[in-house]
Structures are given as C-alpha cells and as structure tokens.
Amino acid sequence: MSTPESQNLPVVVAVDGSDDSRAALEWALAEATRRGAGVRVVHVRQYAPVLQPAVLVAGPEEPADDPVVDEVRKELAGRPGLPAVEYVCLEGVPAAVLPALGGEAQLLVLGSRGRGGFASLLLGSNGVAVARDAACPVVVVRAQEATARRVVVGLQPDDPDGTTLAFALDHAARVGAPVRVVAAYAWPVLAWTAYGDFALTGQEQEAVEKETLALARRALAPLLESHPEVEVEVLVTPGDAAGRLVESSEDAALVVVGRHRRRLTRPAPMLGSVTHAVLLHAESPVAVVPPAPQD
C-alpha cells in the first residue's frame, strides 16, 4: 500500500541490455503511467573495483559513455504517452547498489536474469538480493508474452500480511484485474507425541478448510470494503503454499508475496522459503512486498 510520501517517488527500473531487463522496462513504464509517477532508469556498471562504493556517474540528465543507457534512451525517444523518464548510471556491485535505491523509490523493477546469467537459472543473484534487501516493493519480470490478467496473492491464514494483500488489491484496481487469494493449509495435520514423533490429530479436513476460509475472509474484509470494484476469489487448498502459488502463476499477470519481518532471532532481512520458491519457479512476474515498518 502506497503512502502520500511514496507517491512522490519514482518507479526505479534496472536495465542491463538483457531481454529480461527490456521486459522489466516496459513493465515499469506501464506501471508508472498507471500510478502517475516518473521513471528512473538505472544501469549499474560492474567493472568498478568490488570494494569501491557506488559512484554517481551522471545524474537525471543524460549519462555519457554508457551504451546500455544510450540504447534505452534511443528506444524511448519520441514514444508518445510516456511518463517523465530520467537516466542514472552507477558503478559498483548490482546486488549491493540496487537494493539501496529502494529507499528513494515507490517501486523497484528488474529483470529475472541479467545479461551475464546462466540460461538454466530462472532467477539471478541480483534478483534475490534486491527482493530480499530493498526497502520498497520489488517486481521481478521475465521476458515473456503477457496474456493473463489475474493477480495472485498468497495469504498465510493464521498470520495474514495486510501490506501484501493491500499491494495486490491496489494493483488489481489499477489494471482492472480480478484477484485470486491463495490460502493453503497443511494436511494432514500432525502433532508431536510424547515419544518425539508425529501423529495424526484426528481433525477433519472439512473443519480445517472452513476455519482457513473464515480466517482468510476476516483478513480480507477491510480491503474488500475499500476495493469494491475488485473481483476477489479465495482459493482454500491443502498442500504446500509455494507449490500452489507457482501453479496459479501459470495464468497470472502478477504473483504477490510477502517478505519476512525482522525478528530478534533473525535480525537480517529474509525472503522466507515460500517467497524464495515462488521467485525461482513462478511463470509470471513476481512482486515481493516488505512488511510494514513496526512502531
């Protein structure tokens, strides 16, 4: 969910000349237009010394001697209906430089695989680092033909993340798309025994499913009131949450997942196993939403 302060910030998109980064650029331009925001096109040149901090080579004007940025600028020149676009070139390690840009963006968009990535990998190391560390929501885009409209969002019924749900419904409202909320529950339900083993609890699956649906509806209720125009389907299903979300990505325009909140036992940023698996295997673009700041 955007705040009045974040609405004044640009949508930042990382480019490197790869097919995935071109797809990310188009996604960012379309989303910035819908949000009424500007776009900041950023290229991080990796041939600076590894330990050298990021250096601004050129500001919002036109960076010099950067063929990647020059190519983007030529592609966009004269295209009608674009939001305001600025170009920035940085030097440093992308996995460190790009997450830092999240503090000055309402959204950070990048391709799933960079120009130097292995073809067999669905997600590069930069995508993992940015999705894990950036302060703003991150959208990871793959180069593919976009035909689907549905927005899919994961919901943990016993610990719902309102920020992630709000992002999904806000996006769906902007693009005029329906939303599928995937609420997966473990089945069969197991419990520890006195002998340190697992045993079936005897709970009926129908009862667990009804309770999961009730929890999901309770979490969605305030958002449905504020987004009456959005068609929402709640999919309550047994099994692994990551697997169900990946299945739903096959006919999705965007899959939205949350990121773990920092805790005393894990003070470093963490994606979480479900989010990590969705980033690796989803067939659609994936939005990773950081938790709301705690008071």
pLDDT(236) > 90: yes
pLDDT confidence of 3, banded at 50, 70, 90? Answer: low
Structure confidence by residue, pLDDT tens digits, 70-91 = 999 999 998 999 999 999 999 8
Average pLDDT over residues 210-238: 95
pLDDT(272) > 90: no
Looking at 3.40.50.300, 3.40.50.12370, 3.80.10.10, 2.60.120.330, the CATH number of the domain 150-289 comes to: 3.40.50.12370
Identify the pLDDT of residue 68: 92
Average pLDDT over residues 202-207: 71
Structure confidence by residue, pLDDT tens digits, 15-72 = 999 889 999 999 999 999 999 999 999 999 875 444 444 444 434 444 457 899 999 9
- Where in the chain do CATH 3.40.50.12370 domains reside? 6-141, 150-289
pLDDT confidence of 293, banded at 50, 70, 90? Answer: confident
Structure confidence by residue, pLDDT tens digits, 153-198 = 999 988 899 999 999 999 999 999 999 999 998 766 555 555 555 5
Identify the pLDDT of residue 294: 60
Average pLDDT over residues 248-258: 95
Structure confidence by residue, pLDDT tens digits, 88-121 = 999 888 888 999 999 999 999 999 865 444 343 3
Average pLDDT over residues 137-153: 88
Q: In 3D, which of 24, 81, 90 has the Cα closest to residue 63?
A: 90
User: What's the Cα-to-Cα distance from 45 to each of 29, 39, 111, 180, 219, rounded to whole Å?
Assistant: 22, 19, 16, 39, 43
pLDDT(142) > 80: yes
Looking at 3.40.50.970, 3.90.1150.10, 3.30.300.30, 3.40.50.12370, the CATH number of the domain 6-141 comes to: 3.40.50.12370
pLDDT(292) > 50: yes
Identify the pLDDT of residue 122: 43
